[in-house]
Amino acid sequence: MIERIETNARMSRIVRHNGVVYLCGQVGAGDDVAAQTKDCLGRIDALLEKAGSSRDRILQAIVWLADMSDFDAMNAVWDAWVPEGEAPARACGESRLARPELKVEIIITAACEG
């Protein structure tokens, strides 16, 4: 069974299927990449909880940065957030994001119950 949570005409914020949860890309508020990353990860925590998962069950993360020069600042926040020994498979690249003020977007796939 496929379960779609917080769905609209364009997308679902959460999709659960066969014990895996897929989150739509998350962005955050703030003036710099560190603030946006911290806010983004807080949103991911909330969605994972709603989906019956948590950050220690993340399987894969895809990180998009508007500018790769922000890599170290984003990683400082990311590294403090990921539980020790629970780092997921991860990719990070540079891409133009949906709005000019956005500096980071993160897409998460995680294990969940059910």
- What's the CA gap between 98 and 51, in Å, rounded? 25
Sheet holding 104-111, edge to edge: 2-7, 12-17, 20-23, 104-111, 58-65, 89-94
Handedness of CA 35, 37, 39, 41 (dihedral sign): negative
Per-residue confidence band for 113, with pLDDT thresholds at 50, 70 and 90: confident
Q: Of 21, 16, 2, nearest to 60 (Cα)? A: 21
> Which one from 24, 40, 92, 112 is the annotated catalytic residue?
92
The answer to whether residue 92 is catalytic is: yes
pLDDT tens per residue across span 9-39: 999 999 999 999 999 999 999 999 999 999 9
pLDDT tens per residue across span 38-78: 999 999 999 999 999 999 999 999 999 999 999 999 999 99
Please name each of the domains of the chain with its CATH number. 2-111 (3.30.1330.40)
